[in-house]
Amino acid sequence: MAAGSAGLVAGTLYVVRTPDESAGRQATLTGEQASNTPRSSAGALAARLTDRLGTRTAGAYLDSAGRPVVTVTSADDAAMVRAAGAVPKMTQRSPASLNRITATLRRSFASVPGTGWAVDPATSRVTVWTDDSVGGTRMAAVRRMAQRMGPAIRMVHIDGRLRTFALGGDAIFGQGSRCSLGFNVTVGQQDFFLTAGHCGNAVRDWTADQQGNQFLGSTVRSSFPGDDFALVRSEQPGEGAVNLYNGQAQDITQAGEAVVGQRVARSGSTTGLATGRVIATNATVNFPEGTVTGMIQTTVCAEPGDSGGPLFSGNTALGLTSGGSGDCRVGGVTFFQPVTEPLQAFGAEVS
């Protein structure tokens, strides 16, 4: 197992990445390309408007031109969205009816690994996915439920099996596990970093090397399943920058909410940098280890060991790598814990 870099350039905590056969297939992103773009500003506007509308919206997304589109249920809300600089779109189904559908799915299939769902704001439908592990009577039950709900449901198959991405290995190490450092944060005057909760559940003391000689910090809080985040108290302060795996780093200065259609990037200790788009928010995922809700679903690839690594857009922190299916050779689907939730839970700020 090769020594890997933590997800962030963290001053004296930075670990040099040893070249391996995966290096040639990593996505690359220059510092200029990773900087703020009109799309990231559009995403921030869409997130602010959906938060303001609350239960009166089914969500928002960026269209093919990068414009923020916000779903609404009234002419007054449409006028407010338009005045704010976004495109309003009347929902085909009420947010309340879509919430009832997702609540029914939670009651019926929360114990079925390999399934999940999320509201698609562009179509006002609920997308339900199943992976290769769902078959026989379980698949028949999912299909019967989808048929009862009619056109409000869209069924999607995900190749492979949904899994969390932790494994025994390298990059941030502890108790035989390897994960990736997410974002450096501060709580008051104290330094911490975030990683995945399924990593924090397994590891108390983290080091930057497999031999355990370079101590990084100790897990103080961890939440998984339900959520997937952990807080680690740092031995030394780290810089708020993401390793782009091309000799450069992207400064992270703020945290925000992901929006459907947004272009995003992920950094991780197994596969380096990868890019893709957000395809759902507030997604529910039934991993074999348990159910996680409120997730960001993306087309970004990831592999075991990338868990906990940062999802970002420009200088904005968005999420922590949780799990998914596929790999970075053939592609796949990856889910992320929104970073705003642990920041709020811990009273933390990105460094």
Active site residues: 198, 228, 307
Instruction: Give residue for tokens 């990445």.
Output: 17
Distance CA 292, CA 228 (A): 7
Q: Where are the alpha helices (DSSP H) in the chain?
A: 38-53, 75-83, 95-109, 136-149, 197-200, 340-346
CA-CA-CA-CA torsion sign (233, 237, 241, 244)? negative
Chain centroid to CA 88: how far? 26
Concatenate the DSSP letters of all residues of 172-202 into one string: EEETTEEE----EEEETTEEEEEE-HHHHTT
C-beta separation of 335 from 293 below 8 A: no
Instruction: Give residue for tokens 């997304």.
Output: 61
Query: Coil, helix or strand for 225?
Result: coil
Provide the phi-psi class of 206: left if phi over 0, else alpha when psi is between -120 and 50, else beta: beta
Q: Where are the alpha helices (DSSP H) in 61-219?
A: 75-83, 95-109, 136-149, 197-200
Number of helices and strands in the chain (H, E): 6, 24
Phi then psi dihedrals of residue 281, to 5 deg: -125, 165
